[in-house]
Amino acid sequence: MKIAEVRPLVLGAAWRNLTFVVVRTDEGIEGVGEVRMINHTSALLGYLDEAVPTHVIGADPFAFEALARRMIRDDYARAGQIAMSALAVIDMACWDIVGKALGVPVYQLLGGPIRDRIPTYANGWYTVERTPDDIRNAARAAVTKGYRAVKLDPFGTAWQELPNSELRRAIGLVEAAREGVGPDGEVFVEMHGRFTPAQAIAIARELEPYRPGWIEEPVPPDNISSLVKVARKVNVPVATGERIHVRHEFREIFERRAADIIQPDLTMMGGITETRKLAAWAESYDVLVAPHNVGGPVSTAAALHLAAAIPNFKILEHFNDFVDPFVSQAARGIPTVTDGSFPLPNGPGLGITIDEDVIAAHPRRPIHLNLFGDRWHLRGRERERV
């Protein structure tokens, strides 16, 4: 069996363009991968234009390691977000093909499921005004959709430091989210790399009464020493990793005990194959894995299969119950969230079937998501709030 064709398809939604990649073999089996490239979709498509004929066409879809070696080593340049995302979508599609060829779900190929439910948390639910009442009500609405955990960034456009008034406002929003999910729910606090270590430490101490499940990316991701300072001074778990795209860059985080939870995005760090290796490495340091997942249904499916099979999995991020329905309709087969978790996917491969008509009906959009811009948290719903 050889790869005969690779077709990228881009779906445009309110705040993200999703790139689906269909890989077809000479035996007619198709697999699919997907990635949300924040503000860099054209770069990914350009890389695929060069990499696919050079490294992918004619490849054996069962030979994951050989494919990765060609796409990364044989290109010689140091791999980053673009190259690792290109590898990821091809890798996901190959796992889908192999599962379909053998008639088994991908998680069986990863050693079989350790768990039959995949805990998940809601993101994208707080596209409301930054008031306690609106946040409390939105959190309650997430609970009615079947979630028991939510994540929010309550810090507006903050950078480096917060005035006391804004700090009080942000803490009030976390308190409201806690009230919305109740005492037995989870509230995770996203910081998007906004703060200095001193400010992040001060915020974490103010958050302690609301029992956050973690503070996420409290400082910019390019300075591990700053992250270490935070981790040693706070009494809540620290999570990070969504903006790390190659495995070796986690080494210092592990060795210096800079995080309790890592959040690799398998769509941007080489796919299922590479993320599975990272999870095994993290397990040696007693570090949990909570995959970053801001993509659509295909990336969610891939993350579910990985989550089913890794011992140190914690919880999976999920946006798609809080966005336009056509995003989920672009690929069918994702199970429904109930009682805070997904059941295992059914069917061979990733267990999903894409609908190219839905994707074609929602073409790529001219989107620039700026997490430091005014009212960014509305994520394309600004007109609904006017």
192 assigned to active site: yes
68: which 2 tokens? 């990765």
Catalytic-role residue among 55, 245, 292, 377: 292
List phi, psi (to 5°) of 186: -115, 140
Q: Is 309 in contact with 291 (CB distance < 8 Å)? A: no
Q: Which residues contact 255 (CB under 8 A, 6 or more apart)?
A: none
Q: Which residues contact 256 (CB under 8 A, 6 or more apart)?
A: 224, 228
Start-to-end C-alpha separation, the chain? 55
Handedness of CA 72, 78, 83, 88 (dihedral sign): positive
Q: Kindly report the CA angle at 343 between 337 and 349, in degrees rounded to 5?
A: 115
Query: Cα 170 to the chain's mean position, in Å?
Result: 24
* C-alpha–C-alpha distance, residues 21 and 82, integer Å: 14
* C-alpha–C-alpha distance, residues 106 and 272, integer Å: 10
305 assigned to active site: no
* C-alpha–C-alpha distance, residues 290 and 221, integer Å: 17
- For the chain, how long is the longest CA-to-CA vector? 63
224: which 2 tokens? 């591990």
List phi, psi (to 5°) of 313: -70, 140
Q: What is the 3-class SS of 186-216, one letter each residue?
A: EEEEECCCCECHHHHHHHHHHHHHHCCCCEE
Q: Which residues contact 298 (CB under 8 A, 6 or more apart)?
A: 20, 32, 33, 34, 92, 331, 350, 352, 354
* C-alpha–C-alpha distance, residues 105 and 346, integer Å: 7
Amino acid at 177: A
Catalytic-role residue among 192, 245, 362, 377: 192
* C-alpha–C-alpha distance, residues 5 and 168, integer Å: 55
Residues assigned a catalytic role = 192, 292
